[in-house]
Amino acid sequence: MVNETQHTCSASSSSRSDGSSSGSESSKDNSRCSTPVLDADRHERLREKMRRRQEAGDKWFSLEFFPPRTANAAVNLISRFDRMGAGGPLFIDVTWHPAGDPGSDKETSSMIIANTAVNYCGLETILHMTCCNQTKDDITAHLQKAKRLGLKNIMALRGDPAGEEWEEEVDGFNYAVDLVKHIRNEFDDYFDICVAGYPKGHPEAQSYEADLRHLKEKVFAGADFIITQLFFRPETFLKFMKDCQAIGITCPIIPGIFPIQGYHSLRQLVKLSKLEVPQEIKDVIEPIKDNDAAIRNYGVELAVSMCRELLDSGMVHGLHFYTLNREVATTEVLKRLGIWKEDPRRPLPWAVSAHPKRRVEDVRPIFWASRPKSYIYRTQEWDDFPNGRWGNSSSPAFGELKDYYLFYLKSKSPREELLKMWGEELTGEESVFEVFTCYITGEPNRNGYKVTCMPWNDDPLATETNLLKDQLEKVNRRGILTINSQPNINGKPSTDPIVGWGPSGGYVFQKAYLEFFTSSEIVTALLKVLKKYELRVNYHIVNVKGQNITNAPDLQPNAVTWGIFPGREIIQPTVVDPVSFLSWKDEAFALWIEQWAKLYEEESPSRMIIQYIHDNYYLVNLVDNDFPLENCLWQVVEDTFELLN
Amino acid sequence: MVNETQHTCSASSSSRSDGSSSGSESSKDNSRCSTPVLDADRHERLREKMRRRQEAGDKWFSLEFFPPRTANAAVNLISRFDRMGAGGPLFIDVTWHPAGDPGSDKETSSMIIANTAVNYCGLETILHMTCCNQTKDDITAHLQKAKRLGLKNIMALRGDPAGEEWEEEVDGFNYAVDLVKHIRNEFDDYFDICVAGYPKGHPEAQSYEADLRHLKEKVFAGADFIITQLFFRPETFLKFMKDCQAIGITCPIIPGIFPIQGYHSLRQLVKLSKLEVPQEIKDVIEPIKDNDAAIRNYGVELAVSMCRELLDSGMVHGLHFYTLNREVATTEVLKRLGIWKEDPRRPLPWAVSAHPKRRVEDVRPIFWASRPKSYIYRTQEWDDFPNGRWGNSSSPAFGELKDYYLFYLKSKSPREELLKMWGEELTGEESVFEVFTCYITGEPNRNGYKVTCMPWNDDPLATETNLLKDQLEKVNRRGILTINSQPNINGKPSTDPIVGWGPSGGYVFQKAYLEFFTSSEIVTALLKVLKKYELRVNYHIVNVKGQNITNAPDLQPNAVTWGIFPGREIIQPTVVDPVSFLSWKDEAFALWIEQWAKLYEEESPSRMIIQYIHDNYYLVNLVDNDFPLENCLWQVVEDTFELLN
């Protein structure tokens, strides 16, 4: 009887657990992974995720975007990825614009936008790719580049033939099926491949039936799933799906949903896709064609009701949204359907990357907590990523500081806005203290502007930091200019909405951490105070020249965030590492100049104030090792101020 | 001013921290070790430890042993190593007996005894080696073998020439200095080398002065420190030491202390060493020569007073004891001197090995908790040892079960004793339950004998297990035959006398663990009960054939002991690993037969009872993942019994 009772614990282990529970042979099996699988999503391919969600009866959605025209728009699109990524899309996809140099390294190319989504936003991403009018070598080169960048999924399309006189090329790429075959030939099973389905038949197809046969060819050539062209009536899709199944297409077919967002965008899309807008929709829209809000409301209503019908049919498990790079309509539809799942729980306390080579990564220095994209950028050349211990990292050299537009030293806010927040004119170090203080408190500055970002924090204060707000305000006022901090946590549930991370059923812990810039006078007093706390507080104090004072034993990293989970080894995702602190120091000091000082004229008093701080202040970090006791770092700072008075 | 205030935190970091606290160059320095240095002792060589202890003003001692004649005596000597090792010797040394095949693989050879001390008892060990009458190749082979076995220190001696007619060989090994030179030539700086000093001059030396010159030669040839021949008066040593210093010998000189333990051993030693016993000692001893206890008391008194004088001189930092393989006298001297330091704190929760290749080892499966020597034996061929995570281990194959006498499947107690403890005649499974129960309670069995060991625990119950005594008694009585357990601990200081380990200032944690043999009836009920605890309790249940039932996700290890320390990454020294559990299972089941069943005649009812249990019982382990809550494993067992009733 006992042998029949073989369990595996979690749904997430389904694909790999078959061999795990029987027979002593497995004692020789060393196939277990070297890092605890905290989040199956990081290890599964897209088609597996899709299957798992379907088996679990979880409805999901995905989002389509196109590459923007300007670098500024690219910066905004990336912020949109982060915001819409928070709702839990199964994947996003990025369209391929043959006219826009889509495979290039330009900040606005399809390739780079998809790269950014995967690596920096941690989103499962499909890159579209068209094949007609391209050479085999070009296509292979694009695919190789995509693979190198960590892209794992391709939407294989024919693309629109250039010019009227298009003719089939012998041995060329004439149809999407040629691209599917090419990918499978050259890259074996590396990529998950998606193809397009046309619920009304492709406009150029001989017939609806002929188009279905083409679709079947694409699937049989190696496609993993189908996303459909938009349609206006649920029954269109449901009929199409039944017809597909009838001829033997068994892979997932995902309906493409287009929430109508405006009169003109609808007309343009209809023109491009050669679709007919049903009369009942025209009847509603035409009378309100100049009222964008009304059209959008109607579009949301229509999409919600269509999606509900699709989901209720039991045949549809996921919905694909044509967002047109807009946020409001799609988000509203998803929220009303109840499939927008803003899960505050994070697999790890920092933003993970979806590049396959970073799957095992589970430790990072705390310094880049507010600049995760910079961290990913500066470590993109690493071959190994630390897991288990930071000390195990074999590639500790950080990439050089470069002025990469998308998310590096530049702020995403324009100069005028930054000047309003950080001061048109500084009168002394105290005006800088004030900016820091306003950022912490959320109160408007003396000119009535809220300080919503700082050079070291491109976003408003984290919820967790809010726990320390009163203390932070007090010390910033007096010239302890904080840029990073966390409270101590002595075993809160991993599901805690503010400090929790990782799978449920676990417990998370933190050591209190405080990082700030401050003057050499304060540092002198601080060092005297720290003698009293020698065994309890670890510190690193460094200036821009690299003069470094620390009591870290043997240059060892200090784990400051860790979690204990059922049936797992311990995860310690954040460390204070003395070695990488010196790389972070370069970046942290550079931000004073690149983001702040350069807002002002050279030689101007404001610029000289920032330059003075850059040249003379110290960057300090403090860790209170006694996490079960009350955080002593505020007392350390208090003692320091007392000593100064 | 700031740059002058450069700190390093702990004494243990002194040798490596010079480069750690200044300059940004160190950001490229990747010399930090891959595992947190929990215990500097594991990474320093003997001469560095000596220097560090001297600098810190810590007095220390060392212990000399000779290889025993029989394998039985070897087993006892190893137990003595463990007991005397608990007092904190800086090192032990093992003498070289040219007549006893000292470099062989015999259980009683000098080489194997020293190997056991290093690898299995975790003691810093010096192997003596003599050179006269040996070929260069023989000596090199011995040294290579010593190195391979993890020995790092050699006491280079001439040895006694064989026969009366000994003459110097040209180019041969005539003196200890030849051996010192040979070691340095062939092994560079690998070994720490010790040489012998004679406070009264070597008996064969031309003069005291000539002998001092010989000693200087040995030191200048590459010896790191000196241990002296025994002497009877402190002034003898202090004069010798001053004379050494006067001719330029600056390395440590350690006085050899011989606590007189009996009339005959004194006479024999004096004869061998050609020393004169001073008249004042003879005057005391002769009248009491038949009273061993009286002589020993006198010997202890004498040694204590001599050692005090040596230590008070300020010239002596360590004392070397000629133990004659006995425990009582030396231990008493050390305790009275206050340098026997039975530190209940352990660097890790299990017994570390002193083999250099195991320096980084800091994770082990919990299964071998009571059989650490067996674990070391079975993993001796591993090239890498897990550190940080068990999952990182690249050599997970355990050595085969072999019948290695010293500490493997055989008990160290003789058959007659085992029969008294475990029953001359078993009448059923219940008599086995009784044996387990008596072991837990410490009560005598029905024949009036205490059960002080079990096949899986060669020692009395651990203090920690005592915390669970009442519960364990209850379940063993009913056929849950426990062989390993630990309570849950939610953050106790690392200095806790019972569950603490690692450096001070840290916090240790544990998940509750219970491992037992039990019948298939109980397993059936248990599995039903475990469904209720599915998310909280991880289990592995296996029988001798390897049929295995588990809910461990993805065969991942579960960390069950971990510690958080100031300025360090997290240490998780004990895991429940599903893969190695299957290797442990083979050993655990084999112990039923090898240690217990084989006490009885073949075909006897007693033997068949044990054989039945071996063939039909299951080995079960349970982990309660919710370490902050009250241990639920007792409730699981209680529920199981309830279900059965």
Q: What is the pLDDT of residue B519?
A: 97
Give how far B191 is from chain A: nearest CA, Å: 25
Find the helix or strand (DSSP H, E) in which A179 lies: helix A176-187
Question: Tokens 């936008």 label which residue?
Answer: A113
pLDDT at residue A37 is higher than 80 = no
Q: Are B378 and B588 in contact (CB under 8 A)?
A: no
Query: Does the beta-carbon distance from B566 to A505 stay under 8 Å?
Result: no
Give how far B355 is from chain A: nearest CA, Å: 21
d(CA B210, CA B216): 10
Cα within 13 Å of Cα(A49), Cβ side? 21
Find the helix or strand (DSSP H, E) in which A580 lies: helix A578-591
Can you give A214-246 as a three-state secondary structure string?
Answer: HHHHHHHCCCCEEEEEECCCHHHHHHHHHHHHH
In this predicted model, what pLDDT tens digit does every residue of A400-409 receive, in sequence order? 776 555 556 6
User: Residue A458 — φ and ψ, nearest 5°?
Assistant: -80, 0
Q: Are B591 and B610 in contact (CB under 8 A)?
A: no
d(CA A373, CA A377): 6
| Listed range (B117-131, B145-159, B380-394, B569-583) with the worst mean pLDDT | B380-394
| Listed range (B53-57, B389-393, B477-481) with the worst mean pLDDT | B389-393
Q: Which residues of A are catalytic?
A: 64
Residue A27 structure tokens: 């004692």
In this predicted model, what pLDDT tens digit does every residue of A133-164 receive, in sequence order? 888 999 999 999 999 999 999 999 998 765 55
Percent of chain B exceeding pLDDT 70 equals: 89
Q: Are B482 and B475 in contact (CB under 8 A)?
A: yes
Cβ atoms within 10 Å, residue A114? 29
Structure-model confidence comparison of residues B396 and B529, the more confident one: B529
Can you give A414-433 as a three-state secondary structure string?
Answer: CHHHHHHHHCCCCCCHHHHH
Can you give A357-413 as a three-state secondary structure string?
Answer: HHCCCCCEEHHHCCCHHHHHHHCCCCCCCCCCCHHHCCCCCCCCCCCCCCCCCCCCC
DSSP B501: -
Q: Are B171 and B131 in contact (CB under 8 A)?
A: no
- Inter-axis angle of helices B605-616 and B429-441, nearest 10: 80
Find the helix or strand (DSSP H, E) in which A483 lies: strand A481-486
Give how far A564 is from chain B: nearest CA, Å: 8
Query: Does the beta-carbon distance from B582 to A20 stay under 8 Å?
Result: no
Percent of chain A exceeding pLDDT 90 equals: 64
Closest to B490 measured CA to CA, from B575, B565, B562:
B562
Does the CB of A513 have a partner CB in chain B at under 8 Å?
Answer: no
Which residues have CB under 8 Å from A240's CB, separation 6+? A197, A199, A200, A228, A253
d(CA B551, CA B530): 10
Mean pLDDT over residues B296-316, rounded?
95
Query: Does the beta-carbon distance from B391 to A569 stay under 8 Å?
Result: yes
CATH number of B51-261+292-337: 3.20.20.220
Cβ atoms within 10 Å, residue A282? 12
d(CA B309, CA B234): 7
Which residues have CB under 8 Å from A443's CB, separation 6+? A450
Q: In what order do the strands lie in the sheet with A537-543?
A: A481-486, A512-518, A618-624, A537-543, A548-550
Mean pLDDT over residues A286-297, rounded?
90
Question: Tokens 């240490």 label which residue?
Answer: B571
Mean pLDDT of chain A: 87
Look at chain A and count its residues.
Answer: 645
Q: What is the pLDDT of residue B406?
A: 56
d(CA B556, CA B189): 42
Q: What is the pLDDT of residue B577?
A: 92
Q: What is the pLDDT of residue B30?
A: 34
Query: Does the beta-carbon distance from B505 to A572 stay under 8 Å?
Result: no
Name the E strands within A145-260: 153-157, 192-197, 225-230, 253-257
Assign B228 to helix, strand or coil. strand
Instruction: Check the CA dihedral B573-B575-B581-B586 and report its sign.
Output: positive
Terminal CA-CA length for chain B: 77
Question: Tokens 């440590």 label which residue?
Answer: B252
Q: What is the pLDDT of residue A409?
A: 60
The chain B residue lying nearest A625, using CA atoms, is: B566
pLDDT at residue A454 is higher than 50 = yes
Q: For residue B10, what pLDDT band results from cuts at 50, 70 and 90?
A: very low
Residue A292 structure tokens: 């964008």
d(CA A427, CA A409): 25
Structure-model confidence comparison of residues A516 and B31, the more confident one: A516
Does the CB of B397 have a partner CB in chain A at under 8 Å?
Answer: yes
Angle of CA points A400, A401, A402, to nearest 5°: 110
Give how far A566 is from chain B: nearest CA, Å: 5
Torsion from C-alpha of B585, B591, B594, B597, nearest 10 degrees: -110
Name the E strands within B433-557: 481-486, 489-493, 507-510, 512-518, 537-543, 548-550
Query: Does the beta-carbon distance from A30 to B579 stay under 8 Å?
Result: yes
Where do runs of H (alpha helix) occur along B429-540? Answer: 429-441, 463-466, 469-477, 520-532
Mean pLDDT over residues B401-407, rounded?
60
In this predicted model, what pLDDT tens digit does every residue of A517-558 receive, in sequence order? 999 999 999 999 999 998 899 999 999 999 989 998 777 899
User: In chain A, what's the furthest Cα-to-Cα distance?
Assistant: 88
- Inter-axis angle of helices A429-441 and A469-477, nearest 10: 170
Rg of chain A over all Cα atoms, to the nearest angstrom: 28
CA distances (Å), A617 to each of A430, A543, A579, A623, B181, in order?
A: 14, 6, 20, 20, 57
Does the CB of A510 have a partner CB in chain B at under 8 Å?
Answer: no
Terminal CA-CA length for chain A: 77
Residue type, A261: Q
CB-CB neighbors (< 8 A) of B546 in chain A: 23-25
Q: What is the pLDDT of residue A511?
A: 98
CA distances (Å), B102 to each of A412, A593, B66, B128, in order?
A: 75, 71, 11, 10
Where do runs of H (alpha helix) occur along B157-289? Answer: 176-187, 208-220, 234-246, 263-273, 279-285
Query: Does the beta-carbon distance from B556 to A32 stay under 8 Å?
Result: yes
In this predicted model, what pLDDT tens digit does every residue of B36-77 receive, in sequence order? 445 556 778 999 999 999 999 999 999 999 999 888 888 889
Can you give B347-395 as a three-state secondary structure string?
Answer: CCCCCCCCCHHHCCCCCEEHHHCCCHHHHHHHCCCCCCCCCCCHHHCCC
DSSP B625: S
Predicted complex ipTM exceeds 0.90: no
Query: Does the beta-carbon distance from A582 to B548 stay under 8 Å?
Result: no
Q: What is the pLDDT of residue A497?
A: 87
Closest to A486 measured CA to CA, from A502, A507, A505, A509:
A509
Give how far B495 is from chain A: nearest CA, Å: 14
Chain A stretch 330-389, residues whose beta carbon is closer than 8 A to a beta carbon of chain B: 387-389
Mean pLDDT over residues A434-448, rounded?
94
The domain spans of chain B are: 51-261+292-337, 364-644
Residue type, A528: K
d(CA B481, CA B165): 66
CB-CB neighbors (< 8 A) of B559 in chain A: 564, 568-570
Residue B100 structure tokens: 């006893």
Interface-testing mutation among B26, B555, B572, with chain A (most A C-beta atoms within 10 A)? B555
pLDDT at residue A15 is higher than 70 = no
Assign A251 to helix, strand or coil. coil
Query: With b meaning 16 or more CB within 10 Å and e meaning fewer, what string describes A509-535?
Result: bbbbbbbbbbbeebbbbbbebbeebee
d(CA B454, CA B434): 12
d(CA A456, CA A593): 12
Assign A323 to helix, strand or coil. coil
d(CA B277, CA B267): 9
Does the CB of A627 have a partner CB in chain B at under 8 Å?
Answer: yes
Does the CB of A541 have a partner CB in chain B at under 8 Å?
Answer: yes
Closest to B619 measured CA to CA, from B480, B478, B505:
B480
Query: Does the beta-carbon distance from B567 to A546 stay under 8 Å?
Result: no
Distance of CA B119 to the CA centre of its chain: 7
CA distances (Å), A219 to each of A47, A160, A183, A210, A213, in order?
A: 14, 21, 13, 14, 10
Catalytic residue among B64, B107, B473, B587: B64
pLDDT at residue A39 is higher than 60 = no
